[in-house]
Structure formats: C-alpha cells, structure tokens
Structure 1
Amino acid sequence: MNFNYLILSVIFCFGCIQLIEVLSYMARISGVIENKRSLAYSLQNAIFMLTRFFTMALLPMLGYLIDIGLDKNNYLEMVCGALFFSTVLTVLSYNYKHTIVLIFSKVIKKVSLGSNVLKEILMIPYYLLNRDTDKLSISVKLHRGIFINSALVFGIYSLSVFMVFFIALFFPDHRTMISQLSGVTNAFATVLLTFFIEPKISRVIDNNVDKNVGVSMLFSLVLGRIIGIGFLGFLLLFIIFNI
C-alpha cells in the first residue's frame, strides 16, 4: 500500500499549524499598533483555534503510521519534510509581515465597529488580494532574550510530538501509552511560553507608551519561533541521524 499521500498530509497539516500560529501573533502585533490590545488578543486566540482542525487530523495520521510500523528512516525523512515545509511557510509570512499586519489592522478596525470575528477571519484572503497600498511605518529592533528563549521553546515544541511517536516505533507493544506522552512534552514548552515569555512581553507592552517596543518584542518572538522550528529542529534531527 502506498502511504505517500498520508505522509504528505502529515507534512501539510504540520506546516499549516505553524503558519497559523505565526499569523496569530501578527494579529496581536496589529492590536499593539492600533492600540486595541485586548481585541487583538481575542483575535489572536480566535486565529489560533484554527490550528485545532489540523491537529485533529495530524495526530490520528501519526498514530496510524506508527500502527503500520512505518520504517524509522522514512519517519525521520517525513519529520524533515514537515520542518522544512513549516520553515518555508513561516519565512514567507515573516517576509510579508508588513502586509499581513496591515491586513490584521483592517480586521481589528472592522471588528471594533461591530463586525463578526469569524466573518472577518474568513475575509482575510479577500483583503490580501485587494490590499491597500499603505505602508507600515514602524521600526523593529531585535530583543535578544525574547528571540533566544522563543527559539528554544518552539524548537522543543516543533519536535516534541514527532519524537514521541518516533520512540513508539521502537516499542510497538506500548505505542498507545507512549503516544500519550506527546501532551507532556508539549506542556513543557507551553509552560515556558505561558509563565516566562508571554508575561514579560505583556508587561512591557502595557507599561510602554512607545508601541515600537511591544511590536519589536513580538516580532522577536516570531523570528525566534521560525529559527527554532528551522535551525534547531534540523540540528536535533542531524544529531539523531548520526547517533
């Protein structure tokens, strides 16, 4: 049986998850620029919820690949493909960050005037195709601490689920129990993000009149995430291949 389509589906779902999460942070950046931080935080969570559809598809597919005993080398090649595809998508989104932030600013303005959040999210492709010629005039300065911590956290996050299922390939009799550990590894990265990185960013955003500071910190987090998924992910896979 040919499982190439299933492997490609895993790569596609993982890439979409990473892209949507990056876009959710750019929505928050728009809120800082528009001085509608609470509304932008709600928009960020609404966009983030879209990842659930891809996660619900990703985990069963990974479980099935483990159940059929996918070759370990093929599995690692699939992980490399997923990380590469995710890196391409997130780098493209960062490259067009000014356009994306401006579009989210339009969404925030419309929602603040009473428009439905879901409707505006669905309208984003239309806004992208019919975007204004306005330019985003804001300076971005890299915050090293946020950047490094973000790279480490999201490097762990990007590989955690894949590596848990990879371990299950070595212990097929206990694959169900091992696969449940993916929530534990994800929780570790989530704790670091929720209790250490996010509060620091939110505190700076709330205490600074200069919106450039908050925007720069959020962009530093996004850039760190891209590096974490790309460079650290491939570095860890290189180590695994050469053990």
Structure 2
Amino acid sequence: MNYSLLILAVVICFSCIHIIEVLSFMARIAGVKENKKSLAYSLQNAIFMLTRFFMMALLPVLGLLIDKGIDKNSYLMMVFCALLGASIFSFLVFIMRHKVIKAFSRIINNIIRGRNIFKEIILFPFYFFSSYGEGKYKKKSVIINKSIFISSGMVFCIYSLSVFMVFFIALFFPDYRTMISQLSGVTNAFATVLLTFIIEPKISRSIDLSDDTEQSENMLLSLILGRIFGVGFISLFVISVVFYAFI
C-alpha cells in the first residue's frame, strides 16, 4: 500500500508544529527588547496555541498509519524525515531571527495601540517581508547558556520522540493499538512538565530580575538552540539506532 501522502502529511504537520513553537519564543524575545514582557508572554502563548491545529491533524494520521499496518522500517524513516524537517526549518527561523523579531516587535506595538491580537498574528508574514525597523537591532553573536542549552536539548528530545515512539510500540501490539496510542498524551505531558517547572521558571525569573536585555535574549536563544540540537541531533541519533536495530 502506498503511504506517501500520509507520510508527507505527518512530516509537514510535525515541521509546522516546531516552526510555530520556535516563532513563539522569538515573540517573547521581541517583548524583552520592547520592554513589554507580560504582553510578549501572552503573545507567545497565543502563537503556541496555533500548534493545536497541526497536532489535531497529526495524531489521526499517525493512528491511520498504524491501523493500515505500515511497515516498521517505513515508519522509522518517516519519523527520521519529520525530525529532520522540523530541525532544518527551526534552524532557518533561528538564522532569520532578526527579521522575525522585528516583525513581532511591530505586532506587539500594534497590540498596544488596541489592535486585535489574532489579526496581528495572521499578518505576521506581511510584517516579516516588510522593511519595518531596519537597523533598529544590531546583529550580535549568541552567548550560549550551557545549562539551559543542555536541559532544553534533553527536554525537546523527549518531546519530539514521545508521540512517535508510542505509536511505534503500537505496531508490535496491533490488538492493543488504541490503548497504547492514548499513552502519547502521557509521554508528551512529561516533557511539557519538565519545560514548565524547570526551564521556563529559570528563564522567566532571569528576565524579570535582570535589566540586561542581551542576557535575557541569550537565555531564550540558548533554549531555542538547545531545542534544535535535541530534535536535530539527539532525537535523530536515537531514531537511527532504533532503525538499524530493525534492519
């Protein structure tokens, strides 16, 4: 059976989820630069909610692939492509971070003037490709916070693999695939708890207590780089090991 379209849908949905989440952190950096930290946090959460649309599409497609009995090696290759796509596009967002931050700065200032937050988020591509704010922010190298980088890498490795590996286990026990697939929420929640109660408070405390904008920006960028490393290197390494174990 040809699973090409379903596999492509998984890769696209997973990549979009990670792109949107990286963009949400860029919105928070813009808030730090504009000294609108609370508003930026609200904007970050609003952008993050857009991932739910892609997650609602991803899970049923994964379930359908399991129900159709996709080959285990084909499934692992799909996961490899999804992780690779997510890491590449996330890195592209990081490379273009200065234009992204400028666009979010405009959105934040427009929201302050009373504009609707949802409409402003929809207009993000227009702001991104416009020349607004040229020369406002100087390009600087990132000073990586090792603690946040490592923690972020491990958390987002778990986060990126959790759903895929649960459905992979379901391939071995097709009679219990419905029950096993429900565990994806549990494993995904574990990574979310680590991010929410360990990494996020540390960054928020630093941002609130420090007047050093550059330090706060470096902490958030360290989290993003750690995320890219966790998804693009650690997770890919794990999947490669699992793949070669089943060849």
TM-score normalised by L of structure 2: 0.96
Point out the more displaced range, 232-241 or 144-153. 232-241
Aligned to 2:150: 148
How far apart are the structure 2 equivalents of 1:202 and 1:27?
Answer: 14
Runs of 4 or more, structure 1, over 4 Å off, are: none
Q: What count of residue pairs does the alignment treat as equivalent? A: 243
Q: Deviations over 1:163-219 (max 9, x none)?
A: 000000000000001001111111111111011100000001111011111111000
How far apart are the structure 1 equivalents of 2:68 and 2:190?
Answer: 29
SS at match of 2:114: coil
SS at match of 2:171: helix
Equivalences for residues 72-221 of structure 1 within 5 A: 72-132=72-132, 133-137=134-138, 139=140, 140-221=142-223
How far apart are the structure 1 equivalents of 2:77 and 2:139?
Answer: 40
Consecutive unaligned residues of structure 1, counting only runs of 5 or more, are none
How far apart are the structure 1 equivalents of 2:56 and 2:139?
Answer: 37
Q: Deviations over 1:100-158 (max 9, x none)?
A: 01110111011011111011111111112223333422643110000000000001100
Is contact 1:30-1:40 (8 Å) kept? yes
How far apart are the structure 1 equivalents of 2:158 and 2:72?
Answer: 20
Q: CA deviation at 1:25?
A: 0.3
User: What value does the CA root-mean-square deviation take over the aligned residues?
Assistant: 1.0
How far apart are the structure 1 equivalents of 2:65 and 2:187?
Answer: 20
SS at match of 1:170: coil
Letter in 2 for 1:234: L
Letter in 1 for 2:137: L
Q: Percent identity?
A: 58
SS at match of 1:131: coil
Aligned to 1:34: 34
Q: 2:236 aligns with which of 228, 231, 234?
A: 234
Consecutive unaligned residues of structure 2, counting only runs of 5 or more, are none
How far apart are the structure 2 equivalents of 1:232 and 1:131?
Answer: 37
